[in-house]
Amino acid sequence: MTTTRLYRPTHRDAFELLESAFEDERLLTMFGLCEVQYEGRASSTLAPGQRLVIYKPDGTALVHTGENHEPVNWQPPGSTHNASVRDGQLRIRSTRSNPTEQLDVMFERVETISAYAVTDRSDLKLTGSEEDLRQWILDQPEVIEEGFDPIATERQTTAGPIDIFGTDNAGHPVVIELKRRRVGPSAASQLQRYVEAITAELSDTSTRGILVAPSITDRTASLLNKWDFEYCSVDIE
């Protein structure tokens, strides 16, 4: 399903849609009666009022009123969103670690919430350019690490094709997942599926997973650490 929309949902129903959309990296829009608090470079509070709130897959959060084109509060790309239901309110907290900032939106009432699976022209262009990144790594595999030996591209597994499959200088299998833009948790989950497939196929628990991208979100870094995967920052622009 590409779009999910709820009208005047309960806090619990809205919370469940938020959790699902954050996990699937969908674009979210919400409109309703809310209070906003910000802590970071300074601090501010917006009293309850009707506002449009937008959460983007790259971590951006925007709070709009009915005036002007600029948001009254916002968080930049790379922020992490988490939802909860507490004290009769639906709460969404957007945080970033460098610098430390926190944006809390507390809804007393949600009039409408929509979640969209978004693909645009820039996404399609970036996907096509992953071939350039792949070839660049094949030409100089040492950018991954010294001793990395690429064996195959689009190597088939039960979880789908691996971007680059190879071995390290100790002979351990290495699964490389390539991304041409800043990525979220779904990229780490995708890498996990490939590593699990190779581990099962080769009966080799030493299989390594490496995510290659210009940058990753904090949540993605946490997942990579949880699964003992690695991150290699590469941007050929």
Residue range 146-175, pLDDT digits in tens:
999 999 999 999 988 999 999 999 999 999
* pLDDT tens, position by position, 21-43: 988 889 999 999 999 999 987 88
What CATH number does the domain containing 184 carry?
Answer: 3.40.1350.10
Tell whether 53 and 99 lie within a shared domain.
yes
Alpha carbon 195 to its chain centroid, in Å, reads 19
pLDDT attached to residue 151: 94
* pLDDT tens, position by position, 114-152: 999 886 644 444 444 678 888 888 988 998 999 999 999
Nearest residue to 60 via CA among 118, 125, 109: 118
State the chain's mean pLDDT as an integer.
Answer: 89
Q: What is the mean pLDDT of residues 216-222?
A: 86
Q: Where are the beta strands (DSSP E) in the chain?
A: 3-7, 27-39, 43-55, 61-64, 73-75, 80-86, 89-97, 100-116, 149-155, 162-167, 173-178, 208-213, 230-233
**Cα atoms found within 13 Å of the Cα of residue 65, Cβ hemisphere only:** 10
Q: What is the mean pLDDT of residues 194-211?
A: 93
pLDDT attached to residue 69: 86
pLDDT attached to residue 130: 76
Tell whether 139 and 198 lie within a shared domain.
yes
Domain end call among 116, 151, 179 = 116
With a cut of 60, say whether residue 110 has pLDDT above it. Answer: yes
Residue span of the structural domain in which 87 resides: 3-116
Domain count, the chain: 2
Tell whether 97 and 149 lie within a shared domain.
no
pLDDT attached to residue 70: 87
Tokens standing for 199? 């581990």
32 close to 11: Cβ distance less than 8 angstroms: no
